[in-house]
């Protein structure tokens, strides 16, 4: 990419916005600009970024998966129940991630093999997975599994499962150097997803399907396999998000992350992805995730009630899309004017000769 | 008549009856008239917002903010009542709130060109936040008795609100089948460019759809406040997804251009009944969402399979016809060759 193109890109604008945001919040409240504080506060929204990275890949294909927030809770409660049932924590993590991948792959299989709108498919599984997550404890009781404690598994239906081992909660509260683990996980995933998008054939397939499914089909792109894989990848990512949040809060709950849907989609769309597919980048999503997360932190630090935060996030979502539409219209208008001027020049030139 | 029997609405209605009958073999209490009336009564909120949603989905849009609009309207309604505004005027306030919220959605979608899911997702956050800002996060309680008595008044053991909503549905059904402009919703949803070229005012049609979604959410807020007697902050939360599920279940395609008011009504009734049946089967309430999700998924996939089978049969018939035509062609050619 040429230097001029970099400066004009949406990602660059987001980076500028992020820096400006930090500076403004820092000017109002100098304590905010403490690097250690800033890094530490990312733990509060790292799960949103992780889930948004997975969703970016799906939205690239023109699809959507809103069931991710339910998969987060499902992965969390599966981990907790497995732990209580006496499964070693490492194995419990693998089970939870496996459930996430399976749930995602199921979404993908339905989307790929029917013409039902992905929004409806994942709306149905949003209810389905959330219901399974809340119902799982009672199901285990009915199946006769034994839990430590008098209440059986049902006791964990609404209250969190605590007492998870240190080795696991380290993923949420530990840090490498100055960088907290949730942020490390988010950055690692972002790096992997960027590599997939830019340097693999699979990444090209995702974009091509988003631009035009028909062309992708005739080009010989294995559409079904690609779709199932990308939805499974998203299931994996949101399961990780669920586990990171579980480790951070130190408690496994079935309704974990259920309020994150608006933030996740806002991060993806603010990051420059088009919900019609074929456009967007993981870096954009990552930057937008930071912009949103720090804005939330900053507003709360300024003493603004948390009630106002969703209003501002909602306005940001709508405003950013309106801005992009406006910019697109402007550039079209400019291109049209230029073309018109060139045409007129040509006509006048002709007129002079004849 | 045959058309009605073949319709998706009828299929879901038959499933609904079959489900109630099946559950009645386990627990006969389901078939008591009072039980059925109560199920209908508790479905009113969802029925109303689903009707609003139907207009939007018919035009190939989507509105995920209807639950939040209902919540905000309920807050305004409760505050108006507590401020001593007479009931009819407070109702107008609630309806107006819904209409304004819906019109804001419409303005962003129709005039700015923001994708519907993005616009309404944004206003979902905004309206929900506004609810908390207006009330400071506390519930609105001590609402005057007038609205609550309205909810418990029964004629022939059927609540007044059920009569009112039923009357509204029948009037709407008649109006929708008589007014010519209603066809515009179908035309715009089926083929936006085609509708524009036909001279239909596409923007006005889409605007009306979102405004109506808001208006019906306002009406749902009145019913909700009357039935519950206070306004909790969770009012309408998650209901937007249920409303979409209801209309899709009832046969409104998200690709636009299809659906009737009965789709919304039957879909909403079905989802509410599923919840009630779980109680009669003594299944823990925590499984409600799983069942609702599974039913929705099963129905849309089943619908796809039927559509695919029908299309394949049509294609096979056409192929067979072509094949016949080719054979006729061949046999007609042969004698001529022979002559030559």
- CB–CB contact B121 A126 (8 Å): no
In whole angstroms, what is the distance from residue A146 CA to residue A205 CA?
47
Contacts of A265 in chain B (CB under 8 A): 118, 121
Residues contacting B222, CB < 8 A, separation 6+:
B73, B74, B77, B91, B94, B95, B147
- CB–CB contact B125 A314 (8 Å): yes
pLDDT for B340 equals 46
Give the side-chain half-sphere CA count within 13 A for A168. 27
pLDDT over 70 (residue A310) = yes
Q: CATH assignment of A37-304, given 1.10.10, 1.10.1200, 1.20.120, 1.10.3470?
A: 1.10.3470
User: Confidence class of residue A204 from pLDDT cuts 50, 70 and 90?
Assistant: very high
Quote the minimal CA–CA distance from A350 to chain B in Å.
36
Contacts of B113 in chain A (CB under 8 A): 325
Residues contacting B265, CB < 8 A, separation 6+:
B47, B50, B51, B169, B250
Cα B243 to Cα A132, B13, B54, B109, B206: the distances in Å are 21, 17, 9, 20, 19
Compute the residue count for chain A. 354
Q: Which of B47, B58, B52 is nearest to B266 (CA)?
A: B47
Residue B9 burial by CB count (10 A; 0-12/13-18/19+): exposed, middle or buried? buried
- CB–CB contact B121 A308 (8 Å): no
Cβ atoms within 10 Å, residue A40: 15
In terms of average pLDDT, the best of A84-93, A143-152, B129-138, B320-329 is A84-93
- Residue B276 is encoded by which pair of tokens? 């009630």
pLDDT over 60 (residue A17) = yes
Q: Tens-of-pLDDT digits for all 340 residues of chain B?
A: 566 666 778 888 888 898 888 888 888 877 888 888 888 888 999 999 999 999 999 988 889 899 999 999 999 999 998 888 888 899 999 999 999 999 999 999 999 888 888 899 889 889 988 988 888 777 877 777 777 777 777 777 778 888 988 999 999 889 888 888 888 888 888 888 888 888 888 889 999 999 999 999 999 999 998 888 778 877 777 788 888 888 988 888 777 778 888 989 999 999 888 888 888 887 777 787 888 888 888 888 887 888 888 888 889 988 888 888 877 766 665 555 544 4
pLDDT for A286 equals 95
Residue whose entry in the numeric block shows the structure tokens 């605590």: A162
Nearest-10 crossing angle of helices A118-142, B239-249: 110
The b/e string for B188-210 (b: 16+ C-beta within 10 A; e otherwise) is: bbbebeebeeeebebeebbbbbb
Q: What is the mean pLDDT of residues A1-9?
A: 69
Compute the residue count for chain B. 340
Helices marked H in A143-180 = 166-173
In whole angstroms, what is the distance from residue A32 CA to residue A10 CA?
26
In whole angstroms, what is the distance from residue B76 CA to residue A326 CA?
34
- Any idea of the CA torsion for A260, B237, B19, B174, to the nearest 10 degrees? -130
- CB–CB contact A262 B255 (8 Å): no
- CB–CB contact B254 A135 (8 Å): no
CA B149 to chain centre: 28
Q: CATH assignment of B2-283, given 1.10.3470, 3.30.420, 3.90.25, 1.20.950?
A: 1.10.3470
ipTM for this prediction: 0.83
Greater pLDDT, A263 or A49: A49
Q: Which of A252, A281, A260 is nearest to A99 (CA)?
A: A252
Out of A116, A132, A307, closest to residue B290 by CB: A132
Q: Looking at A160-211, which runs of residues are DSSP E strands?
A: 175-176, 179-180
Could you tell me the sign of the dihedral formed by the alpha carbons of A39, A44, A48, A50, in that order? positive
In terms of average pLDDT, the best of A94-103, A211-220, B2-11, B163-172 is A94-103
The residue extents of the domains of chain A are: 37-304, 314-354
pLDDT over 90 (residue A238) = yes
User: Confidence class of residue A92 from pLDDT cuts 50, 70 and 90?
Assistant: very high
Q: What is the mean pLDDT of chain A?
A: 87
Do residues A91 and A168 lie in contact, with contact meaning Cβ atoms separated by under 8 Å?
no
pLDDT over 70 (residue A354) = no
Phi, psi of A180 (to 5 degrees): -65, 150
* Interface probe with B: pick from A318, A319, A329, most Cβ of B within 10 Å: A318
- CB–CB contact A318 B286 (8 Å): no
- CB–CB contact A116 B304 (8 Å): yes
Q: B-side interface with A, Cβ within 8 Å?
A: 62, 108, 112-115, 117-119, 121-126, 128-130, 132-133, 137, 241, 244-245, 248, 254-255, 284, 286-294, 296-297, 300-301, 304
pTM: 0.85
The residue extents of the domains of chain B are: 2-283, 288-340
pLDDT for A2 equals 62
Q: What is the mean pLDDT of residues A157-183?
A: 84
Residues contacting B157, CB < 8 A, separation 6+:
B33, B34, B37
pLDDT for A140 equals 74
Greater pLDDT, A169 or A1: A169
Residues contacting A115, CB < 8 A, separation 6+:
B304
Bridge-based pairing of strands B154-155 and A179-180 is: unpaired
């Amino acid at each position: 990419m040429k230097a001029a193109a970099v400066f004009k890109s949406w990602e660059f604008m987001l980076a500028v916005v992020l820096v400006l945001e930090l500076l403004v919040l820092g000017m109002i409240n100098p304590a905010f600009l403490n690097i250690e504080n800033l890094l530490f506060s990312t733990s509060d929204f790292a799960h949103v970024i992780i889930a948004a990275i997975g969703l970016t890949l799906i939205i690239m294909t023109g699809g959507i998966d809103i069931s991710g927030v339910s998969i987060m809770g499902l992965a969390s409660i599966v981990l907790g129940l497995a732990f209580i049932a006496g499964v070693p924590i490492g194995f419990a993590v693998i089970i939870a991630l496996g459930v996430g991948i399976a749930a995602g792959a199921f979404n993908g299989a339905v989307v790929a093999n029917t013409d039902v709108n992905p929004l409806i498919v994942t709306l149905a599984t949003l209810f389905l997975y959330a219901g399974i997550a809340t119902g799982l404890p009672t199901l285990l009781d009915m199946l006769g599994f034994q839990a430590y404690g008098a209440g059986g598994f049902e006791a964990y239906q609404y209250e969190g499962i605590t007492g998870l081992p240190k080795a696991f909660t380290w993923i949420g509260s530990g840090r490498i150097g100055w960088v907290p683990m949730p942020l490390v996980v988010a950055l690692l995933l972002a790096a992997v997803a960027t590599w997939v998008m830019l340097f693999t054939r699979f990444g090209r397939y995702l974009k091509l399907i988003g631009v035009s499914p028909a062309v992708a089909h005739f080009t010989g792109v294995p559409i079904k396999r690609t779709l199932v894989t990308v939805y499974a990848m998203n299931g994996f990512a949101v399961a990780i998000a669920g586990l990171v949040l579980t480790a951070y809060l130190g408690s496994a709950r079935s309704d974990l992350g259920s309020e994150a849907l608006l933030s996740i989609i806002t991060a993806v769309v603010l990051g420059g992805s088009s919900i019609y597919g074929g456009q967007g980048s993981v870096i954009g999503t990552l930057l937008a995730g930071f912009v949103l997360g720090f804005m939330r932190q900053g507003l709360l630090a300024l003493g603004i009630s948390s009630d106002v935060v969703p209003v501002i996030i909602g306005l940001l979502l709508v405003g950013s899309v309106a801005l992009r539409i406006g910019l697109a219209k402007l550039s079209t208008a400019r291109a049209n004017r230029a073309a018109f001027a060139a045409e007129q020049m040509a006509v006048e030139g002709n007129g002079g000769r004849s | 008549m045959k058309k009605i029997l073949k319709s998706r609405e009828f299929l879901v209605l038959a499933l609904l009856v079959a489900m109630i009958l099946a559950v009645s073999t386990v627990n006969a209490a389901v078939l008591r008239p009072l039980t059925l009336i109560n199920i209908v009564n508790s479905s009113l909120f969802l029925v109303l917002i689903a009707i609003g949603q139907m207009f939007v989905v018919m035009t190939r849009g989507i509105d995920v903010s209807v639950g939040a609009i209902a919540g905000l309207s309920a807050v305004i309604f409760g505050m108006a009542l507590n401020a001593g505004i007479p009931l009819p005027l407070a109702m107008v306030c609630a309806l107006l709130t819904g209409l304004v919220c819906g019109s804001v959605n419409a303005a962003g979608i129709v005039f700015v060109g923001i994708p519907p899911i993005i616009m309404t997702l944004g206003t979902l956050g905004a309206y929900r936040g506004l609810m908390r800002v207006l009330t400071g996060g506390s519930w609105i309680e001590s609402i005057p008795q007038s609205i609550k008595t309205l909810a418990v008044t029964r004629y022939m053991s059927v609540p007044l609100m059920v009569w009112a909503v039923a009357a509204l549905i029948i009037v709407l059904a008649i109006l929708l089948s008589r007014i010519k402009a209603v066809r515009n919703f179908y035309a715009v949803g089926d083929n936006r460019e085609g509708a524009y070229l036909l001279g239909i005012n596409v923007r006005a049609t889409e605007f009306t759809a979102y405004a109506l979604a808001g208006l019906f959410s306002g009406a749902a807020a009145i019913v909700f406040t009357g039935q519950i007697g206070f306004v909790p902050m969770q009012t309408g939360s998650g209901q937007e997804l249920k409303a979409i599920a209801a209309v899709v279940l009832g046969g409104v395609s998200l690709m636009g251009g299809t659906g009737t008011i009965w789709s919304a009504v039957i879909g909403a009734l079905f989802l509410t009944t599923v919840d009630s049946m779980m109680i009669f089967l003594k299944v823990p309430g925590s499984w409600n969402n799983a069942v609702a999700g599974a039913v929705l998924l099963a129905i849309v996939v089943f619908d796809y399979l039927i559509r695919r089978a029908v299309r394949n049969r049509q294609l096979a018939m056409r192929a067979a016809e072509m094949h016949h035509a080719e054979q006729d062609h061949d046999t007609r050619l042969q004698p001529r060759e022979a002559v030559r």
